[in-house]
Amino acid sequence: MSTQKVKITFSGSGRQIDLPVIEGTLGPEAIDTRSLSSQGVLTYDPGFLSTASCASNITFIDGDAGLLYYRGYPIEQLAEHSDFLEVAYLLSFGELPTSEQKAAFVEKIGHQTMVHDQMANFFHGFRRDAHPMAVMVGVVGAMSAFYRHSADPFDPAQRESAALRLLAKVPTIAAWSYKYNIGEPFMYPQNRFSYSENFLHMMFATPCEDYQPNPILARALDRIFILHADHEQNASSSTVRVAGSSGANPFACIAAGIACLWGPLHGGANEATLKMLEQIGDASRIGEFIKRAKDKADSFRLMGFGHRVYKNMDPRAAIMRQTCHEVLNELGLNDDPLFNLALELEKIALEDEYFIDKKLYPNVDFYSGIVMRAMGIPNSMFTAIFALARTAGWVAQWKEMIASPEHRIARPRQLYTGATRRDFVTIDRRH
């Protein structure tokens, strides 16, 4: 707590309210407005542009400087030197694991990668052409009916058990939603593989042939997982926190996060970016689409551009751009027309006054779709892979929220703008 105070003065009545100022370890200070409602005043902030909904030790973003830290470690260092399970451990427990802790964690995850065999029946209830995110919302939510001994959020041991199960099983559910879609048999997880290799195996192996994941592609996928693992109080993580604040079942809370992530303004942007590039089709049409993106009367936006917090660059985008080159090199796809179109679009947009003025830069999803497409992952799975990775952040955020001494049910207020009191009119007297 800082010694500073903020004084609000109402210009009409002259009434004054003093509010304390709170400082974090990094980033902007916050005015503590908790006492306002008891004084008959609310803060108004639709879309939470200026609202810190909680205090958190997990992830720090400086949008102007383009910084992203998980538990204090810069994302660039984690992407280069770490792997996804180490990052998931870091997010969950606050410190990088020792080699013994890491081995124990990997083993625990390995023991949980299979899903209850009866869960396979759920998939068969969906249409074959169901979107993988629709299947994931349903099947991850259905985990609440299977793992009832990990369901009490107020019991620390059950919390850890739920967190482990989610990290271990969501990749299996994501891969199976793809296998179901293409009509191939579900592949059981293989614990001899790393986390990302195992995911490639469950996506692309069949029971008929041996499958050996390409290490360069597995590393690139692992990097995608690391870059998407957490992003402080974004829409889906806030959804998980709000859902969890009532003490709801953890699997249902993560399903709520998946539902929120699916939107094209959030995790659905990687799929939408690829669709947009396919729609543009050729560099000669870029001008036409840039014009549409700038037109207020047109709802079209340049997908993969802009961010609520990053206003100069998305540090994840720089890493993903580099990974994109590595993957296309490995696969001999340097001349991939879609990638070249993306580079051309990026160049033109970055020189355009509209995008410069509004500080709209490519975000991580501008490149991650191109990388995944080159790996043979279909567009419809992009957001499912984002969900798989973000599960690490969601469980860390959920655990922090429940264990916090400040935990209360999330219950925002509103500025009411509807009708004032009026008396009921019987139907025969209404016009």
Q: Is 201 a catalytic residue?
A: no
Answer yes or no whether residue 396 interacts with ligand CMC by CB under 6 A. no
Number of residues that bind ligand CMC (CB under 6 A): 19
Distance in angstroms (rounded) separating the CA atoms of residues 402 and 56: 12
Options 159, 165, 223, 266; binder of ligand CMC; rule CB under 6 A: 266
Smallest distance, Å, CB 293 to ligand CMC? Answer: 4
Residue 92: CB atoms within 10 A of its CB come to: 22
Provide, rounded to whole angstroms, the least separation between the CB of residue 332 and ligand CMC. Answer: 29
- Contact status: 363 vs ligand CMC (CB under 6 A): yes
Residue numbers 109-128 binding ligand CMC by CB under 6 A: none
Active site residue 307: yes
Q: Judged by CB under 6 A, does residue 225 bind ligand CMC? A: no
C-beta of 174: minimal distance to ligand CMC in Å? 17
Beta bridge partners of 20: 5
* Nearest distance in Å: CB 72, ligand CMC: 21
Choices 29-37, 166-174, 241-249, 264-272; region in contact with ligand CMC by CB under 6 A: 264-272
Token match 């690490």: residue? Answer: 392
Rounded Cα distance between 335 and 415, Å, is: 54
234 binds ligand CMC (CB under 6 A): yes
Asked whether position 226 contacts ligand CMC by CB under 6 A, the answer is no
Residues 293-352 that bind ligand CMC (CB under 6 A): 293, 301-308
Q: Tell me the DSSP string of 234-285.
A: -HHHHHHHHHHTTT--HHHHHHHHHHHHTSTTTTTHHHHHHHHHHHH-SGGG
By C-beta, is 231 or 241 nearer to ligand CMC? Answer: 231
CA-based torsion, 338, 197, 173, 128: positive or negative: positive
Q: Does 389 participate in binding ligand CMC (rule CB under 6 A)?
A: no
Active-site residue (options: 307, 335, 407, 423): 307
Burial class (CB in 10 A: 0-12, 13-18, 19+), 348: middle
Nearest approach in angstroms of CB 389 to ligand CMC is: 12
Nearer residue to ligand CMC within complex by CB, 203 or 303? 303
- Nearest approach, Cβ of 414 to ligand CMC (angstroms)? 19
Under the binding rule (CB under 6 A), the answer on residue 407 touching ligand CMC is: no
Identity (one letter) of the amino acid at 147?
Y
Output 111 or 358, the one with its CB closest to ligand CMC: 358
Check binding of 169 to ligand CMC (CB under 6 A).
no
Distance, in Å, from the CA atom of 256 to the CA atom of 243, rounded to the nearest integer, reads 7
DSSP three-state, residue 253: helix
**Please, which residues have CB within 8 angstroms of residue 82's CB and are 6 or more apart in sequence?**
90, 96, 226
> What is the DSSP annotation of 72-99?
TEEHHHHHHH--HHHHHHHHHHSSPPPH
* H or E stretch at 168: helix 156-182
Token pair belonging to 429 = 């007297």
Sign of CA dihedral 24, 256, 164, 82: negative
Q: Which residues are designated catalytic?
A: 307, 365
Enumerate binding residues for ligand CMC (CB under 6 A): 231, 234, 265-267, 269, 293, 301-308, 358, 360, 363, 365
